[in-house]
Amino acid sequence: MNDELRAEIEGLSKKPDSEIDFSEIPEATKEEWKNAVRGKFFRPIKKPISLRLDADVIAWFKSQDGRYQSKMNDALREYMEKHEKSA
């Protein structure tokens, strides 16, 4: 990214949305959002931990598709986000 583009983006980030001209950007339709993927480019830092869970919970997640740790993380993130919004 060159300095000119960086300065333009920085300037836009300081403006409220009401002052930014979005007229050249068409509004996305429900059809276009149908196949959207949440968090496709979001890559949080992962930290290894030791965690004791009930054996049946682990067995159920492992039986899903082999990506049980990611599925557990997704379930915990969903719970966290739901409770952050209600707090």
Q: pTM score > 0.85 for this model?
A: no
Average pLDDT over residues 29-33: 90
Residue carrying structure tokens 């965690």: 51
Q: Between helices 68-86 and 55-65, what is the axis angle to 10°? A: 110
* pLDDT value of position 50: 95
Calculate the average pLDDT of the chain: 90
How far out from the chain centre does Cα 83 lie? 16
The domain ranges of the chain are 3-86
Q: What is the pLDDT of residue 48?
A: 94
How many helices and strands in the chain, by DSSP H and E? 4, 0
> Which residues have a Cβ under 8 Å from the Cβ of 61 and sit 6 or more positions away?
68, 71, 72
Q: Check residue 7 and give its pLDDT.
A: 92
Which residues, 6 or more positions from 52, have their beta carbon under 8 angstroms from its beta carbon?
A: none
Q: What digits encode the pLDDT tens for the residues 36-56?
A: 887 888 888 999 999 999 999
**Between residues 6 and 39, the one the model is more confident about:** 6
